[in-house]
Amino acid sequence: IPQNLLELLYRQSNGNVHLILSTINNFRTSLINEEVINQMIVTNALSLPNWYESQQQQLSKNAAELLEICAVLDTPIQLNMLEVATRWDADQINDALEELELYSFLTPMEENSVLSGYRFQHQMLRDRTMKHLSLARKRKIHLALIDAFEKIYHSILDSVAATIVNH
């Protein structure tokens, strides 16, 4: 790939290596000659909206819904919060999280090789997800998260009150 094309990809992705590699890989897997591929990359220009839309359209209903909840919840995205907020069983949550990880929306957070939660692969992905949510949907998710915080942290509500206030 020509240096100027790599620089263009870098600038337009705000240096997000994952988005750069994903874009290059998506075009490389097609059976088109090098010149056409390079032109397609330039014209597509790795616009985050295009990448986001193409990835988001491939998500299952549960993964798309969980993505919205994760965006409102923000980092750290903890499994117990998701279980209470969604009222889904562990398999449904794990399947949706696996899908969100596969499509590069979320990445696991580990402490001492133990999964401690998830975070967005890049803040721009969270921002884009939040931008797509209606005010009514955000309100509904916030209420579910407030309920989840209260159920999980009922014995120490005073110490998590600031987090609840944010929702």
Question: Inter-axis angle of helices 79-86 and 135-152, to 10 degrees?
Answer: 110
Q: pLDDT (tens digit, 0 to 9) for every residue of the chain, 167 residues total?
A: 667 777 777 777 777 777 777 777 766 655 455 665 555 555 555 566 777 888 888 999 999 999 999 999 987 898 999 999 999 999 999 999 999 999 889 999 887 777 788 999 888 889 999 999 999 999 999 999 989 988 888 776 666 665 655 65
Closest by Cα among 20, 13, 118 to 69: 118
pTM assigned to the model: 0.69
